[in-house]
Structures are given as structure tokens and as C-alpha cells.
Structure 1
Amino acid sequence: MIFKHRPSSTEDSTSRGQSEVLGFVLLIGLTMAVIGATVAVGSVAYSSATADAEYASVENAMSKLSSQASLVALGSHESRSFDLGSMRDGSVHVDESQGSIQMYYDENATSIANATLDERTRFYDESLGAVVYRDGERELAMQGGGVWKLENGVGSMVSPPEYHYRQTTLTFPIVRVTGEGSTSGRVGGSVEKVSADRITNPNAPSNPIDNGTVVITVQSDYYQGWYNFFQTRSGGSVSIDHENQTTTVDLQYPQELSFKSETGLLLPFDAEIDGDSGQGNDWRDNVDGFDQTALPSMEPIVSSQIESARNNEDTIDLTEADLSEGLEAGVYYADDDFTISDEVTINTDDGNVTIVVDGDLTIDSPITVTGNSENGVRYYVNGSLQGGNQDITTDNESPESQRNVFFVGGDAFTDTSGTLGTIHAYLIATDGTVAFGQGGGNTEFIGGVAANEFNPGQSAQWNLRAPADQSDDFVIDLGVNPNTITYLHPSENTVRIEL
């Protein structure tokens, strides 16, 4: 016989009772864990959302404070009150020592490149001060009459300071902040006028300014925002020094651009110079040498040439010219995008040739410059310069690259899918990117390139070389500048912030 054990009814009910209790406890524990996790995640999301909302609110309030401070500093109001709102995550403080500004005038300099910047030429040197809101790693600041932000260590402009161009006159009222204190919660206060004075110094330029150059340097935690501001509001060269947190602007638009002997590439101070050619090699191996310097925008130059070509009755319509017959001395103008689709020979025996395009210029056929080597061709392009697989050369056995000079308002050769061919030229595209073929093939560029960004892409073989016989610096005359400052009116306007 086989005997099987059967649990008694008492034993069975006890086991079931223990299982039910254990399951209930586990269910309650899991529920509490889920609720706790949900509450934790929700509280973090809520905290982040409220911090972002507070930051956005303070940004708007700072812009209003900037306007009120300008009204007091530059207007008839002696004081104004302000309200920055309620703050739970951040706090506000006044920092009189935050940032400084220096102004120089060198009457013997033609640009910032050869200007002397020391106590002999300095005519203003004072702190700027700031009202600063800080929330962790984020900051907002009213400084110099403008509002700036700092996020992840990168500064940018929220609203611009007082800085006004009108034809050849620049009015620059410097707004300085004084005061003290730090607070959070509900933040308000008053802004009061302390002083408003013209800057008078023996080193300052006298109006009208007939020669020399004026330079402004701003040192600040928000120097990158000042850099962006001067880039968009100034006609001159702007440079940046990350190590010293400074931005420098040459208020006088430079009259020339210089390529040093055996230098093929000019880049701005803040240009990225890392990267390879796409073939695993450092692109600098393919460049005859490069410099980082202050580069002026091409916009004023190109715009000036467009206006001149439009209004000159001797201007030749480029769209009606027979390119296959060649071009001779004169000014040629296209009021829209233009493509060079026929092989063209440009003869300079009778003088210089100027080609002005108010749009994009595409070069789909070879260009050869012949004739008197004392004359050359200048191209002014309001848009981008594109093309590929075509030579742009001079007929001399030794390339005379200085006879082909391109002034480009946009990018150059960024749409090229293959090689560019052989180019004898100087290419100035200081507002855009220059690339040398994104596909394959060989590109030989003899001359020089000045660009805001240089990206040779994945061209299989390319070289950028200064002309072999260039023993001296090659200086490009930028021509008449419409933004040259003749009258400069700087002033110091000090306010006190009470929190």
C-alpha cells in the first residue's frame, strides 16, 4: 500500500493565511516604492521647471532694469524703482568690480594690427560693474547698459548696450554700475544717477578723426556676449582672448588686409584649428602656413561696390556680356545670382576688371586672366561663391595670384562635390566658411584664403600655398569704407543700484 500525507484543514488554512499576509505586505511595499519614485522624479521635474521659469522671468526683468538704468543714466530721471520678482532658486547681488573697459587712440596706426595699446594711447580705463543673478551654474547680468547670460561657461547677449552708429558718427555712452548687497526672495530696489560726464583726456581723439584708429577692450565674465555684440554692431575688426576673458574691437574699419610672406591662410582669433583633412591627416599639413588675426567683415565692402555699380552709368550688364568673347577693362554687374557657364578670358591690358554680383556666383567654366600684369580682376559677391572642376588661373608661368581677388559675403566652395582644379587667387570670405571640395580629386590653391572658418572636407589631395616668389607681405587694399568713424562721442554715465 502507498500512503500519502494529507494536510489537515488547519494546516492548509494557516499556509494560505501566511501567503495572503506576505502578498499584502509585498504589494504595499511595491506600491510605496512606486509612489516614492514617482514623487522623487516628479519633485525633480517640478523643481527644474520652476527654476527654468524663474530664470526666464528674471531674464525679462533684467531687460526692463537695463532700460530703466539707461533712462536714469542718460535721461532726465534722477532715480527709478525696479522689481525683479520672487526668487526661490537664485539670488541677486551687485558687483562693482565685475568687468572693465579700456579705450585707446593711436593716431599713427592704420589698424589694430599695428596699433600701440598702452598708457601712451589709452584715454579711458574704468570698471563696468554689474547686477548679477546666479542660479547654480547659470547667470544673468546687467552690465554696460546691456544684459548678458552665462550658461555652461558660455556667454551670450540678451539685449544690447547703448551704442549707436549714425553714418560716420558713433555715440558710445558707457553705463557703469556701483552699489553693494546680495539678496533673494522678493527682489526689488532702486537705480539712482551718480554722474554723467563726457570723457575728456589728452589722449582722446579730437573730432573730426582724420587718421589713426580707435580700439575698445572689454574684460568681463560675459566677454563672449560682448564679442558677439561688437561683431554684429561694429564695422571694424573684433578679436577674442579666452584666456584673459577679453574682447577687443577696432572701431576704425581697416583699410587693408595683410598676408604675411609664405602664409596661405588667415583665420579669426577664435577659429577652431583642430581637425583633419578627411584622410586622417591634420589639415595644417596641407597649408603653407596660417595666422590667427582680427578679420573685418566683407559686408560693408561688398555692399559699397554693389551700390557703386548700380549707380554708375558706365557699368556693363554682366548678364548681357558675351563671356565667350572675353572681358576687358570695366565694371560688370549682375543684380541676381550669376553662373559663368562659358570659358572666359579676362584681358587686363587696358586696365582693371571689376565683377560685382548681388547674389551667388557659380563658376562652372575655366577663367584665365591675361594681359598687363600690373592690372587685375576683383570679384565682389554678395552671396556665396561656388563651382568645381574648373581652373581659375593667370597666364604667367609663375602664378600671379594677386591679380585675382575675391571678396565674398557668404561661404565659398562649400557645395563642391569634387575637386576645384587649380586656382591662382586670394579669397576673402571672412563672414563664412571656405571648403576645398567635399568629394575627391586634386585641388591646388596658390595664393591665400581669409575665412571665418576653414573646412577642407574630404578632398583626397589638396594644397593651399602662398606664391613661391612672394618674398614680402601681400597687402590687399580693401578700398573705400562706408563705416569709417569721423565723429566719436564717448561718455561715462554712472548709476547706483540699491537692492
Structure 2
Amino acid sequence: MNTMSRDKSRGQSEVLGFVLILGITMIGLTTIIIFGGNALKDAQQQAQIEQAEQSFGVLDGRISRVALGASPVQTVDLGLNTGSSGATLKSRDTGWIRVTYVNTSTGSRSVVMNRTLGAIIYANDDTTLAYQGGGVWRHTDGGTIMVSPPEFHYHDGTLTFPLVTVTGGGPLTSSITVTQEGTQIQKYPNRNQQTNFTNPIPRDVKVKVTVDSTFYQGWGVYFEERTDGQVEFDHAKEQATIELTDPISKVGSALTLVGGSQLQIQDQAVLSSYDSSAASPTFGGTDGDIVSDSSVQIQNNVRIKGNITVGGQADISGMGNAGRIHGYLSYGAGSVSQSACDDHVDGACTKNASLGDKRSIDTRISNRIARIEESNNNEANPHITNGELNWTGTDNITLEAGDYYFNQSFQVQGSNSAPQNLTLDTTNGDIAIAVKDTNIQIQNHGNITVKGDGAVRFYNDKQIQIQGQSDVWVPGYDSPQLWMYCTSNCGIQLNSGSPRFVGVMYAPEAANGVQVQDHAEVYGGIVGGGQVQIQDDAHLHYDEVLSTTAVFPDRAPVIYMHVSVYRMTIKSE
């Protein structure tokens, strides 16, 4: 009896064990099916979205071909499954963009363009792709990112915006046909729309661009990356607004190098600062900073009363016993020994240099020169003939307020016994001097003096040479009164006999480099490029006033504007 009971119990346990194992197996299989199915679905959805991004890139290119007149019609098969997958594809008349022209003197506001953008929208679960305004955008619950950019370009004071809009609301199949609706609409410049819609834009005008769109965050980030304005987001209204600002603002250091190959500072050179706004400026301040995207080599008892930030390597191993950096040293490559830092740097030595983008001024300078060439005051001055200064019978010439153009030579040079003196008299207004295809040469006791409270601005596309005991002087060491701008093929030379220069030399990316040598004295600031040498007891005194002085105060942030509209019709057969 006992034996039979034990056998029966054992049989029941085996059945229960089998049922339990079967149950666990079924639960496992169900879990695999559920979660595996979800994972498979997610993978398929991701593949569909990636395919859609590629297809929208093709669509973007085809629409551009129609807009630019390369083809009257384009048909593209996006290859998207919008049926069983649950994804949808449609065209909607949604979103708008507005370009506003504001006169800061009168407060008047004019609308250059206010257009509905429209969009081609692909939706797949919580992800939306859209072609809108010439760009492709991807939107999820986390926000919007740009997949490909719209044709919105702001460079060196010129806004170019060929806006592409789309119409044809409703569901779409994977096969889309694009045609142009009418012809291009020119919005700016356009005298027919408003008489003052002309280029160049008046000085007292600012330009704002506002986008109202589901994809406004992507538009706003794009504006931030491609312009220098501050973007304002209105999340409640789904709007992004950019006020276009000048990408070139201030001179913030004694020496700034953009597009530099190497910076050498040696042989008792000194960098320091002063404040020209003081009644009696004192020298030797500690804001004589250096900012360069190149490497730097400092040697032979150099004194820098300021900070150094360089994008490349920093070699301070040969600074000598008297060499000192009275600030910090920040570099972007290589290493600096701790002993060298302890011996020569008052502040920290860190490998964390961060530099901004390059800002070429070539187009801006070329535009200035062209305008002065077209209209100037040369004929009003008897000492300007055939595009050059005429020193015959005199050692003293005065240029008064106005614009002057030189394309043969610009020379102020004399001798120890007979110096030549050029007075730039700004009593009645500013002076602009364009020097095209020839050097600015101030040599051998050639002297320039600024008179009055106005500003003098030189625009040059070749070389600036100040040599041989020459003197470029502004009373009170007021450097913002004198600017010498030069294009990227420029070279700057201050050497050969203790020349003095008061003002700002502004030539970013100057391919032919900068030389400040032979006891030269600079009061103001230098922005240059290429191979740079500061040596032989040269002194750079940074004018602290420049940190709040605009580089190009005489122009609006936007100088030229080209805005047009291309209307596309979208349909599926």
C-alpha cells in the first residue's frame, strides 16, 4: 500500500513538472514574440525612415532643378510604402516666412516678403520628415533637426535667399510630379514694390527674418549656425526670428591672426595696452592680448602684458630670463612643460584654446573700392592727378572730408632734410581713401597726420608699408580715428627705422603676412594672417577702446539683399 502511494505521488509530480516546464516555455515564447516583434517593427520603421530621408534628398534636388530652370517638370518615385506600413505622405499649405525691412531712424517697417511655405510631409509613427522652404527637416517629440539646408545664405553682409514654396494640398502617392507655377517673383531689390527697395541697403536699415512652422526649431538652429545674429524662439507660436547682424564686430586684442601660418615674437618685443579715452593715456596696461589660429614661438626676452590664445602649438622654451607672459597661455595642440609655465607664465597654461570662424572681408573691401572708384572727390583736389598724389612743388598736402581714389600709387615719402607731410582733415566729415592695385607706401620720413574728430578709412587690395622713420599720427593716440583695411592677398610691413603707427590695421587672412620690426611702435591693434613676425624691440600697444568700437560702423549689417520666390506645384497621378 505504501509503495503504491509513493508511485502515484511520483507520477503526479512528473505531470506537474511537465506542465510547469511547458508553461514556462510558452511564457518565454510569448515574451520573445511580443518583444521580438516590437524590435523587428522598430527596425523596419527605422529602415523606412532612413529610406525616406534619402528619398527626400532626391526630391530636394529635383525641385531645385525645376526652380532654377534646368527642367520644366520633374517626376520622382520616392519608393515609399505608405499603405500597409501605416506611414502617410501628403502636401500641406502650412507654415510661413516673413522678411522685414526696418528703418532704425524713423521706426518704419516694410515687409519685403511674406509667403506661405507649404510642405511635403512624410509621417511614420512619431517621426515626421518634411520638405519645406528648400530644406528637409526631421521632427520627433524631441524637436526638429535639419537634414539638408534651405537656400538661405548670409555671407559678408550679403543675404541671398531664393525661397522655394510648394502648393497642392492633399494625399500623395510615392510618385510625385513637380512643376513651376508661373515665373520667379523678384522681391528684393524691387523698386516696383517699394522705391527704397534697392541695393546697397541704406545704413539705417536692419533686416529680420521670421519663420512660423512646425519645424521652427530646425530653422532657428540653422540661422544660428549660418549667421551671427541672435535667434529668438517663440515656442508657443512655433516661431523663430533672426535679426541679421554684422559678423565682424570688434577688435578685441593687440594682435589677432586669422589664417595665420606661424607667429614669431622675439628679441625684446613688448605687447601691452592703454586707454585712448583717458585725458592723459598711460601705457603698460595688461590687456595686450594675442589671439591666433596658428602656432606661436616666443623667445629672447619678450614681455607680453596680456593673455595668449593660439589654435596650434605654443613654444615658450626660449623666452630667456627676462621673458614673461603676464596672463594665461591657452593653446590647441602639442604641449608646454610645467617648468616653462612656472618660469614664464603668470597665469595658467591650458590646452583648451577655442577660436571662432574665419571672417574674410574681401567682398566688403572690393565693394568699398568699387563705389569710391565710381564716385569720388579727386577732381576737387589739385594735388591728385591720374590716380596718384602729386607732390610737385610741395612737401605738404591736405585732403579734406570726402572720398578719394588712387590706382597708380599712394606714396608719402621724403628725406631726413625734406619730409613729406599729408594731413587728413576730418573737421567737416570723414575721409575714405581707396587704393586699388597698388601699395600704400609711407616711407623715408613720410608723415600722415589726422586732424579733427572724424574718422579716416583706407581700403586697399595689395600691400601696406610704413618704413624708415615715418610717422602715422593721430593726436591723443586715438586709434579708432584711423583704419587701414586690406584684402586677403595683403601684406603689412612696419620696419626699417623706428616707424610709428596710430590706428588699426585690419587684414584678416593676409597671405603675405605681417612684419613689425626694428623698434616699430603700434598704438591701436593689428588683425592679420600668414607668417607673422614681431621682433627687434617692436612695441604693440593695444587701445582698450577698440573692444567697444565697431570695425565697420558706417554700414548696416546687411549691405546687399537678393530675395526671390519660386513657386512649385506638387501632385501625384
TM-score normalised according to structure 1 size? 0.56
Given the alignment of the two structures, is residue 366 of structure 1 paired with residue 331 of structure 2, yes or no? no
Aligned with 2:29: secondary structure?
helix
Alignment match of 1:479 (pick from 544, 547, 551) = 551
**One-letter amino acid of the structure 2 residue matched with residue 41 of structure 1:** F
Q: Could you say what secondary structure the match of 2:161 adopts?
A: strand
Contact 2:227 2:247 survives alignment (8 Å): no
For residues 22 and 309 of structure 1, the distance between their equivalents in structure 2, rounded to whole angstroms, comes to 83
Q: Quick one: which of 58, 74, 81 aligns to 1:86?
A: 81
Distance 1:325 1:171 in 2: 41
- How far has the Cα of 1:356 moved from its partner? 9.0
- Could you list the per-position Cα deviations for residues 276-327 of structure 1 after superposition, in whole angstroms to 9, with x for gaps in the alignment? xxxxxxxxxxxxxxxxxxxxxx9xx99x9535999xxxxx965215367967
Q: What is the aligned partner in structure 1 of residue 562 from structure 2?
A: 489
Q: Are the structure 2 counterparts of residues 197 and 45 from structure 1 closer, same or farther at C-alpha, using a change threshold of 3 Å? A: same
- Map 1:122-137 to 2 at 5 A: 122-137=111-126
Over 3 Å counting, the alpha-carbon distance change for 1:157 and 1:358 in structure 2 is same
Offset at residue 338 of structure 1 (A): 4.5
Give the 5 Å matches for 1:389-428: 409=355
Partner residue in 2 for 1:156: 145
Three-state SS of the structure 2 residue aligned to 1:121 is strand
C-alpha contact 1:336 1:357 (8 A) present in aligned 2: yes
User: Could you say if the C-alpha distance between residues 17 and 326 of structure 1 is closer, same or farther in structure 2, counting changes exceeding 3 Å?
Assistant: closer
Amino acid at match of 2:564: S
Determine whether 1:100 maps to 2:96: yes
Deviation at 1:16, TM superposition (A): 3.6
- Separation (CA, whole Å) in 2 of partners of 1:356 and 1:132: 47
User: Which blocks of at least 5 consecutive residues in structure 2 are unaligned?
Assistant: 274-282, 317-323, 358-545
Unaligned runs of 5+ residues in structure 1 are: 1-5, 110-114, 258-297, 311-315, 347-352, 369-378, 393-406, 412-473
Cα distance in 2 for partners of 1:203, 1:362 equals 59
| Within-5 A mapping of 1:242-253 | 242-253=235-246
2:566 aligned partner, one-letter code = N
Partner of 1:270: none
> Are the equivalent residues in 2 in contact too, given 1:306–1:357 (CA < 8 A)?
no
Query: Does structure 2 conserve the Cα–Cα contact (< 8 Å) formed by 1:123 and 1:204?
Result: no
Distance between the aligned counterparts of 1:366 and 1:42, measured in 2? Answer: 64
- The number of residues matched between the two structures is 342
Alpha-carbon spacing, 1:147–1:483, altered in 2? closer, same or farther (3 Å): farther
Cα gap change, 1:355 to 1:325, in 2 (>3 Å): closer
Report whether the alignment pairs 1:46 with 2:119. Answer: no
**1:205 maps to what in 2?**
197
Amino acid paired to 1:100:
W
Which whole-Å deviations, capped at 9, do the CAs of 1:43-102 have from their partners, x for residues lacking one? 0110111111111111111111111112122224222122231131421222202x2111
Instruction: Give 1:29's aligned residue.
Output: 23
Q: 1:65 aligns with which of 44, 59, 67?
A: 59
Q: 1:171 is matched with which residue: 160, 165, 182?
A: 160
1:336 equivalenced with 2:336 (yes/no): no
Give the Cα separation in 2 of the matches to 1:94 and 1:326.
62
Tell me the alpha carbon deviations over residues 318-337 of structure 1, each in whole angstroms, 9 at most, x when there is no partner.
52153679677999886734
Question: Percent same amino acid at aligned positions?
Answer: 29
> Is the CA contact (8 Å cut-off) linking 1:319 and 1:334 kept in structure 2?
no
Tell me how large the CA RMSD over aligned residues is.
Answer: 4.7
C-alpha distance in structure 2 between counterparts of 1:251 and 1:7, whole Å: 98
Cα 1:140–1:204 change in 2 (3 A) is farther
Q: What are the superposed Cα offsets for residues 96-143 of structure 1, whole Å, 9 maximum, x if unpaired?
A: 02x21111112446xxxxx95x7x322211211111122232211110
Change in CA separation of 1:240 and 1:8 when aligned onto 2, cut-off 3 Å: closer
Taking the aligned partners of 2:177 and 2:144, their CA distance within structure 1 comes to 27
For 1:198, the aligned partner's letter is Q
Are the aligned partners of 1:309 and 1:356 in contact in 2 as well (CA < 8 Å)?
Answer: no
1:214 partnered with 2:207:
yes
Query: Shift of residue 155 of structure 1?
Result: 1.2
Larger deviation, residues 85-94 vs 136-145: 85-94
Q: Indicate how the Cα distance of structure 1 residues 42 and 171 shifts in structure 2: closer, same or farther if over 3 A, else same.
A: same
Q: Is the 8 A contact 1:335 1:357 kept in 2?
A: yes
Alignment of 1:176-187 (within 5 A): 176-182=165-171, 187=174
1:353-403: CA deviation from partner (whole Å, max 9, x where unpaired)? 9999665899984369xxxxxxxxxx9x9979x9999589xxxxxxxxxxx
- The alpha-carbon deviation at position 192 of structure 1 amounts to 1.9
> More displaced, 359-368 or 135-144?
359-368
Q: Is the 8 A contact 1:344 1:367 kept in 2?
A: no
1:190 aligns to what? 177
| Cα contact 2:311–2:354 (8 A) shared by 1 | no
> Residue 105 of structure 1 contacts residue 123 of structure 1 at CA under 8 Å; is this kept in 2?
yes
CA-CA distance at 1:145 after TM superposition: 0.6
1:247 aligns to what SS in structure 2? strand
- The residue type paired with residue 187 of structure 1 is S
TM-score under structure 2 normalisation?
A: 0.50
Match of 1:306 in 2: 257
Name the SS for the 1:491 alignment partner.
Answer: strand
